[in-house]
Structure 1
């Protein structure tokens, strides 16, 4: 019997893992989500903003990283629009502004915003992508209008109502950077925070998050959400449950399946070795 356990076809394991990932997507299971101090700081900072405050969101990721970062974006956007915070969107990655538009569409399709959907140039603007990496951040410290002469739709930014009185980081109350790599959170800390004294929080992939935790402890980051867990925590705090919570359930089931196979495999190995 134990010899058979050691010879399980790997395809069977793959099937179990696939089922563990797919089945929970169709289940409504309440799971306990504990909120980390780093994510709590993000929420507390957002909660402390007055209606009409300006939030800059930098979408520095592409579709492969969207499963982890898109739920964070949607949760933060929903909170901002619900509490009348003005959102300014940019991207240091070419696909970033597109991801932002998809997140906006998600918000608009939410029944909560059916009677009061976010309106372009009233509740949010998308300034689009600009090449140059950290040089873009440095340029924004001097002039948003010069750095982004046109928005995502091609309209001159000086004609946008929301850009009136917004010159540089001193006119922005809070920055949220959603990053999957370079350019991303590190560059925002080095230039927006260290040089222009902006207030910055970050959402990172699970792989990248450990690299930027030191910035939180040093006080350079006002909060950090890492991976699906961070997304689920944000959803819990803002009160809008979405894919972050759903994907977290699937991830938990998959982890349990892998752990079970590891335990069974090791137990079978030691038992057969004694024989």
Structure 2
């Protein structure tokens, strides 16, 4: 199964889960708020994605670097801010006739094992010997280039790569060329400490053509995010006060995953208490009760 097909299958499972929702609370929760589905499930379908200005701009930047084969790129941000979602959005839109995409999501491996995984994702033969594996990847990259396709290697949670030897091997792959054109674009996604790791490996850091840092949402975008997801779930009336939205932003620090968790519990608590609007005190109560703050 290709990486793109695998990503689509994964998204379909998440979509099914988001639509079905947990049955134990679905009837009272949805009926009380007049919703057709749960608005704050993780991994909901594309309609629920709120593409704020930075999210849109970074997608454009990443596509530009990949299409022009500008070397490596790094996307960092705090846990839960949408890095993986953003990367997936870009990778799923790449034309398979022009790109071969390999995605590594669990890179906490020593260099030989990580390179064997890279080889498998790219369709190359993998060996116990690191040098032979690198040679096999090189041959595969040359073959893809002859077919007019460019290889993109995306490594998520790249800050967990345990040793610099693996980064050095990735640097060597990035340097492979044919006819004056690079054969591989390396796309590293991780938490902010990834930049510190790369800074210790100057030859690799110098090959990074684009560095992006995804920020948490400000208050305005937090509010738009909440309202967008409520609307997509079928809300036709006000659900929370401005003061409640301010409390959500303050308590979650604008991190989308934390917003989802807190808003979901606020909707549950609001339905349980029979209130018409989520208020600031209810937000604080839910955050304290469920340890979300």
The answer, yes or no, to whether TM exceeds 0.5 is no
Q: TM-score, normalized by length of structure 1?
A: 0.37
Q: TM-score, normalized by length of structure 2?
A: 0.36
